[in-house]
Chains A and B, each alone.
Chain A
Amino acid sequence: AEASFENSSRRRSRKDWISLIYSSALTPEQIAQGDSNASHEISSDDADDDFFRIRPATLVNGDDLDMTKELVSPDSLKEWEDEALLDSIRALFITGEQAAPEK
């Protein structure tokens, strides 16, 4: 789980946020979820042929509310049951450097 997190973050860190936000036609959800490459192609496609436009799949949470908290899927939190991952963020605490009292 730790490795996959690092992988995905490495991929994402190359994003050019300024142009994604201010000069692309992607929806905020697409940008946030990081499927920018795929949708870049789509947006150039429907410029040619905008008679049929695929409606973006409606959001999962029904009547998509204007809400501040994000929906957390229980599955995404399951990873925290892994001891290695719990230890991986130890460096973010002040007790991080000195080899913290082992479990």
Chain B
Amino acid sequence: MAQTGSLLHFSDHQYLRQRLVLSILSGKAVRIDKIRSDDKNPGLRDYEVSLLRLLEKATNGTVIEISVTGTAILLKPGIIAGGSVSHDCPLSRSVGYFLEPLIMLAPFAKRPFQLSLRGITTDDNDLSADLVRTVTLPHLQLFGISDGLELRIKKRGSPPEGGGEVQFLCPVVKQVKTLNFVEPGKIKRIRGIAHAVRVNPQFSNRMIDASRSVLNRYIPDIYLYSDVYKGEESGKSPGYALSLLAESTTSAIQCSEAVSKPGVTPEEIALTATHTLLSEIRRGGCVDRKHQNLVLLMMVLGSEDVGRCRMCEPSARTIQFLRDIKSFFGTSFKIVPAEPSDPSSTQLLFSCYGTGYINVNRSLA
């Protein structure tokens, strides 16, 4: 991670997405080498190349160089152009893989984004379209990014054949608000979306019943919605999933999801999702664990003031993200136990001084 001029240097294929995003936001060029150089099948994967192509479409003036063997890339960031972009995602990853980095960039574009992505909408690796819509976008609203923020799920697509389509609309902002979110509150409602495409539509109801059998004991305000997609809208492959979210009195959101697997009954899928949700609730904090990175990034980009947020313990991804933020922006967080007097509490208070990042791309008026 030696820094020469404004070129940052990383190795390994892990954490590729966040480094590309930080590079584009900070305007610092990045070189990543040793990408699977010891692998039987070295170099970039098709989805990584596809992500680079998407970033090229979404920005203006970005230079991307990929070495002949595909084990090293150099990215010189341009400006984030925004506007109407459409992209066919490869079937090796879901649209969530592509959407997550774009969501980090979109508020700072020159023109509002209208991004259409086609491919798999729900899988086990990345945030599904449902979670992005119900959980990620509310997290952006914490920072004052709200008017015209929308994700439409036009078609669903399950692995392996996909065939789904989502449309992401994001407004541009001049600057994000400083976050001060330290009160997790208590869970007041649970919402869920069950969908089943190209299988017996009764599967949604079976998942809802199984999930309710556990959750009904806690609170009465539970609404699990069975989302029906028919015909062309249901993609090319069969599949079903249940995504759940718990919202607290202070609008802190925790979420979980489980996706159909061969030979597993809908009831078991639903219980996996439900139990994962309970684990997340037990961890607590003001933001969902899968969204720590997004929230921390927006805190760093906030106005020149101290932003504070209470979270559960960072995941491995988050730890690396904190280190990468320090490499790109020079900002480090202060991390202290949220309740020093209570030894059983593992929650932490993250605070940082915002860099006062201003969207210079935004076209005037």
Query: B-contacting residues of A (Cβ < 8 Å)?
Result: 5-6, 9-10, 12-13, 17-18, 20-22, 27-29, 31-33, 63-70, 72, 74, 76-77, 80, 86, 89-90, 92-96, 100, 103
B274 surroundings in chain A (CB, below 8 A): 80
Cα–Cα distance between A32 and B317 once the two chains are bound (Å):
9
Size class of the B contact interface (CB-based, 8 Å) = 35 or more
Contact B319 A69 (CB under 8 A): no
Contact B14 A66 (CB under 8 A): yes
Contact A22 B276 (CB under 8 A): no
CB contacts between A and B, total, < 8 Å = 119
The segment out of B53-61, B172-180, B231-239, B337-345 that lies at the interface is B337-345
Residue of A21, A69, A77 most packed against chain B (CB within 10 A): A69
- 17 example contacts (A-B, Cβ-Cβ < 8 A) are as follows A5-B282, A18-B332, A22-B323, A32-B319, A69-B126, A77-B271, A80-B278, A80-B279, A86-B214, A86-B217, A89-B278, A89-B282, A90-B218, A92-B284, A94-B187, A94-B188, A103-B217
Cα–Cα distance between A95 and B217 once the two chains are bound (Å):
10
B313 surroundings in chain A (CB, below 8 A): 12, 32
Residue of A6, A22, A64 most packed against chain B (CB within 10 A): A22
Known: A21-B335, A69-B257. A28 touches B320 (CB 8 A): yes
B126 touches which of A21, A29, A67 (Cβ 8 Å): A67
B278 surroundings in chain A (CB, below 8 A): 80, 86, 89
7 tightest A-B contacts by CB?
A28-B319, A28-B316, A67-B125, A77-B275, A17-B335, A32-B316, A80-B275
Contact B17 A66 (CB under 8 A): yes
* Chain A CB within 8 A of B281 CB: yes
Contact B186 A93 (CB under 8 A): yes
Known: A66-B13, A69-B290. A93 touches B343 (CB 8 A): no
B344 touches which of A13, A17, A21, A93 (Cβ 8 Å): A13
Contact B126 A68 (CB under 8 A): yes
Residue of B100, B257, B317, B326 most packed against chain A (CB within 10 A): B317
Chain B residues 282-327 with CB under 8 Å of chain A are 282, 284, 289-290, 313-320, 322-323, 326
B342 to chain A, nearest CB (A): 9
Contact A72 B125 (CB under 8 A): no
Cα–Cα distance between A78 and B278 once the two chains are bound (Å):
12
Known: A68-B125, A93-B218. A10 touches B343 (CB 8 A): yes
Cα–Cα distance between A18 and B314 once the two chains are bound (Å):
12
A56 to chain B, nearest CB (A): 12
* Chain A CB within 8 A of B334 CB: yes
Q: Using an 8 Å CB-CB cutoff, how does the interface string of B147-169 with A read, 1 for contact, 0 for none?
A: 00000000000000000000000
Contact B276 A77 (CB under 8 A): yes
| CB-based nearest A residue for B51 | A66
B333 surroundings in chain A (CB, below 8 A): 18
Contact B100 A18 (CB under 8 A): no
A10 surroundings in chain B (CB, below 8 A): 343-344
Known: A18-B335, A72-B276. A95 touches B319 (CB 8 A): no
Contact A94 B186 (CB under 8 A): yes
B257 surroundings in chain A (CB, below 8 A): 69
* Chain A CB within 8 A of B348 CB: yes
B17 surroundings in chain A (CB, below 8 A): 66
Contact B218 A64 (CB under 8 A): no
Contact B125 A94 (CB under 8 A): no
B288 to chain A, nearest CB (A): 11
Contact A92 B281 (CB under 8 A): yes
Chain B residues 202-227 with CB under 8 Å of chain A are 214, 217-220
A65 surroundings in chain B (CB, below 8 A): 125
Cα–Cα distance between A17 and B322 once the two chains are bound (Å):
11
Contact A29 B316 (CB under 8 A): yes
Contact B127 A68 (CB under 8 A): yes
Contact B214 A69 (CB under 8 A): no
Cα–Cα distance between A93 and B278 once the two chains are bound (Å):
11
